[in-house]
Amino acid sequence: MKTGEISAAVIRRLPRYYRYLGELLNRGVVRISSKELSDRMGVTASQIRQDLNNFGGFGQQGYGYNVEYLYSEIGKILGLDQKNMMIIVGAGRLGQAIANYSDFEKRGFLIRALFDIDPEVVGTSVHGIPVFHMSEMEKFVKDNQIYIAAIAIPKEAAPTVANELVKMGVKAIWNFAPTDLALPREVAQENVHLTESLMRLSYKLKAKEEE
């Protein structure tokens, strides 16, 4: 299956399907129609069918989806059927907040280390995860086959560190710095731009007030 051509909007919705299906599974639901799933998620049933058709369907007309099968298939599409080793660069409040987030481990994302230059945090640990000095990062990334790195450092330092990480072998950058990184085409990038998210909220607030 070629996954490279799927639209950004579909990719945006997939993890949400996965989360809802996981909740259904936890409650023992075996089968669900696209109609029921759509009521629950606030997406149209045809949107759901269309999205899932990108990956070959998974359902039979009039018969609904097998929850466990669909959950596991979407998990595979998202690369959650394997353990993903990752590190966090930056052990300030944000880096620590990410390290502390126990949901990631449940999804197979294992945070192996944090890196910083601040002597106050180097040598400590967060949520049981060690904080090392940045100078140890290259060896760690290579020795531990780290493919994913979260960047939680000031935006001025982010581009340089991101490029260094790529040279060390990192293939996916989860960027929390408020800047867009120019990375080689073969490197995956996902941004969490908090200020932009807050601006969207402000926009929605204003739009609701004008309704």
Q: Which residue stretch of 60-68, 98-106, 115-123, 158-166 sits at the interface with a second copy (rule: CB under 8 A)?
A: 98-106
Among 19, 31, 112, 133, binds a second copy (CB under 8 A): 19
For the window 113-152, what string marks contact with a second copy as x by the rule CB under 8 A? Answer: ----------------------------------xx----
Q: According to the 3-state scheme, what is the secondary structure of the chain?
A: CCCCCCCHHHHHHHHHHHHHHHHHHHCCCCEECHHHHHHHHCCCHHHHHHHHHCCCCCCECCCEEEHHHHHHHHHHHCCCCCCEEEEEECCCHHHHHHHCCCHHHHCCEEEEEEEECCCCCCCCEECCEEEEEHHHHHHHHHHCCCCEEEECCCCCCHHHHHHHHHHHCCCEEEECCCCCCCCCCCCEEEECCHHHHHHHHHHHHHHHHHC
- Would you say 44 or 135 has its CB closer to a second copy? 44
Among 43, 45, 110, 187, binds a second copy (CB under 8 A): 187
- Would you say 135 or 154 has its CB closer to a second copy? 154
Residue 201 sits in the site that holds a second copy (CB under 8 A):
yes
Place of tokens 């051509």: 5
Residue 27 sits in the site that holds a second copy (CB under 8 A):
no
Question: Least CB distance from residue 140 to a second copy, whole Å?
Answer: 19
- Which positions lie near a second copy, rule CB under 8 A? 2-4, 6, 9, 11-12, 14-16, 18-19, 42, 77-80, 84, 92-94, 96-98, 100-101, 103-104, 107, 109, 147-148, 171-174, 178, 180, 186-190, 192-211
